[in-house]
Amino acid sequence: MTRRLEEFKVLGDERGQLVALEENRQIPFNVKRIFYIYGTQPDTPRGNHAHYKTKQFLVAVNGSCKVTLDDGKSKKIFDLDKPNLGLFQDALVWGTMHDFSSDCVLLVMADAYYDDKDYITVYDEFLKEVENGA
């Protein structure tokens, strides 16, 4: 499955809430890199690329945003508006994050270390890769 929304179990009581995420359980891979996006500008999308090999898992730990995932055949928009929702993005899926709330903190976990050669930043090249891989 190239893209799916997961709802995590929330543990908590009068002291507050807690969500626990573990690699190869809630996160469907070994986590090699974690980064987060915040302080985004209104009407400024992020992402707009795909990866040849890297898989990612996205969680809006604060605020909200939308994520459009495109597998080359269909596009779907996901609302990340709760800190107990996560979105899996497979390799060779074009991702765009947008409509960030002013307080959004988007956490991204990846199964690979950063490698600029793994990025596809031209949409037509992405479509050729999808076509060749299909």
Positions marked catalytic: 49
- CA pair distance 102, 121, nearest whole angstrom: 26
- CA pair distance 87, 118, nearest whole angstrom: 20
- CA distance to 48, 80, 83, 101, 133, per residue, from 43 (Å): 14, 17, 22, 10, 33
